[in-house]
Structure 1
Amino acid sequence: MPATIGILLFDAAEELDFVGPWEVLTAAASPADRVLTVAASLEPILCEKGMRVLPDATFETAPVLDVVLVPGGSGARRIPDEPTAAWLRQAASQCRWLTSVCTGSFLLANCGLVTGSKITTHHRFLDELRALGTSEVIAGQRFVRDGKVVTAAGVISGIEMALWLAGEVFGAKAAEDARDYIAYNWPPR
């Protein structure tokens, strides 16, 4: 059955937090699968380092998603606006996998989606995430899975998490093909 993966975009999203996983997931996907970006509107998103990106779908037009991926960046560490929070809660309630990269875990926490879960974030923000008091924050792991929630510690960890996720969603061969395509060799084989 084809899978649909949605990557949330917002102003000040960290570019590689979503572009890295997007590369992995599109490399692993079959032509019947979809990997798309979702934002509040179709207006350009101004990312953390200045890249501008056009979303594929809006909160209103996005399909039901099998996977939701939330990137980090300073935009993820702010209290979300109500349309973003409402969409994320609704999408999370229907998806098979709810994932974040780097400080995207703050957005999940601030939307109440990881209360009581084991999660991680970028090493520079572990104490700040712990201070929210919503989750058990794990240090020293590339990514952490707790049920359907998978959080990655940073940019490279997000790529590793996406490779793992590709295996779960598309199968081991698709994940290995994606790993080969992006020439990813960590840990060294």
Structure 2
Amino acid sequence: MKKFEFRKIRLKQVTSDQLNDRLLLINLYMTQALTLIIGLIWLLFQRQNIFHLFKLPGNWEFAAWGAGLAAAVVAADLLLAKWVPEEASDDGGINEMLFRRRPIWHIVLICLVVSICEELLFRGAVQHSFGPYWTSIIFAAIHVRYLRHWIPTGLVFSISYGLGWIYIQTGTIWAPIVTHFIVDLIMGLIIRYRREP
């Protein structure tokens, strides 16, 4: 049996024009799996109960909080898109590649996976350790494709802080999951059905 050497593994930065659809999806699902694993391990070390974390509350008030914040985020994003030049909010074309030709069922699946995995890690584990402010800084930092421009970075930080705030207000992780899902879904569908200028 041939010996596998980890030292021979080389990582290189790939630009969006070097990505094909298959590689993009592999990257997306692998990073979400990694996010989920890190979140579960972090929760384990914090001795949090995963079943308690994902327990649905007795009423649906959390959904109203989630939908309300999602509406505010989408409105702010659309207003910014109207007044801010496109190059100031450029993500390298990743969102366009991800959603432009994707079937609706797959857009829904992507948004569901991303919202659950990222909220488990950031609201469920990281915020439990560091609070909403530092969690939002970390959350903005991992959205690397936005870091070249301060407007989308500030928007991601603000959204993350809002997600942390409604998590505290409602006491359930389902509120930020609902917001994250709705925002990603609406923005994905806008990209999917946007007419070319």
TM-score (norm. length: structure 2): 0.24
Q: Which has the higher contact order (CA 8 A, sep 6+)?
A: 2
TM-score (norm. length: structure 1): 0.25
Structure exhibiting the larger radius of gyration computed from Cα positions: 2
More strand, by proportion = 1
